[in-house]
Structure formats: C-alpha cells, structure tokens
Amino acid sequence: MTTNLTAGVHRLRGRRASQVLGDTHGDWRVFRLPPGIRDRTTFFDAVRAVLPLDPPVVTDRSCDALADSLWEGLSVLPDKKIVITWPRHHEFQSEHPFDANIAETILSDLVESLIDQDAIGGKAKELAVVFA
C-alpha cells in the first residue's frame, strides 16, 4: 500500500502513523530510523546506522557536524524524493526534551535546505520527515 506523501515535516499518531510507517511510498527512497531512540547517543547511533553521512560522524559531540554530514550525504544521492521515518520519537522527547528538539530541528531543517536549488547545485531533493 502506498500513501500520498508530500515533502515537509509530518507529525502523525495512531492509525495514520502506522499506515505511513508501513508503506513503501512509491518512488520515494525510504530511510527508517529504528524505534528505541531515547537519548542523544542512541539518536546519533541510529543516524549513523541508517542514513548516508558524508563525511562520517564518529562521536555524538557535535550536532552541527551531524547536520552538515547528513546534508551532504543526502544531497549526493541520486534519488529526488527521500523520506525519513522516526517511529516512537515521542520517547526521546519525553526523556530528553532538549536533545530531542535539537534532533528534530536537524531533520526538519534538511527539508528546507535540500529543496534549495542554489544550495544543492540544481539537484534539489524533496524530503519528507515523518515523526510518528
């Protein structure tokens, strides 16, 4: 089953969240962060395991380095449409709201920066980030 997904940040709950998390999303390249992200360290570990980073990020000390590496890693993908899903992101938000807000901002900012034709050398990407 495929849902109609659009670029942007999506915050979903319940049946709609389950549907979106389980979908193939047609021509969208899908990256699924694993459940169980509960703190800064597990967020960095999940990003390193699932998303393309360029250059690789070895520690969890610099959110700026992670943001830059994610931007570069996603920008060089041949895919024009990308979706990042983060199930149960509310667990991180509940336990470490400050770090969770930073993590959400990193991903949300990518939506705007990857669509910028000038910043990405004419190869803009549509990015959907799904917090479920």
Residues 32-47 have pLDDT tens digits of 999 999 999 999 999 9
* Residue 2 belongs to some domain of the structure: no
Shortest CA distance to 24 belongs to which of 38, 43, 5?
5
Domain range for 99: 8-131
Question: Contact, 70 vs 44, CB < 8 A?
Answer: no
Domain count, the chain: 1
* Residue 55 belongs to some domain of the structure: yes
Task: Please list the pLDDT of the chain residue by residue as tens digits (132 residues).
Answer: 445 788 999 998 777 766 766 666 678 899 999 999 999 999 999 999 999 999 999 999 999 999 999 999 999 999 999 999 999 999 999 999 999 999 999 999 999 999 987 777 778 899 999 998
pLDDT for res 18: 67
* Residue 3 belongs to some domain of the structure: no
Give 6: exposed, middle or buried? Use CB within 10 Å, 0-12, 13-18, 19+. Answer: exposed
Q: How many CB atoms lie within 10 A of CB 54?
A: 14
Three-class secondary structure assignment of 10-71: EECCHHHHHHHHHCCCCCCEEEECCCCCCCHHHHHHHHHHHCCCCCCCCCCCCHHHHHHHHH
For strands 29-32 and 126-131, give the pairing: unpaired
* Residue 1 belongs to some domain of the structure: no
* Residue 101 belongs to some domain of the structure: yes
Give the pTM: 0.89
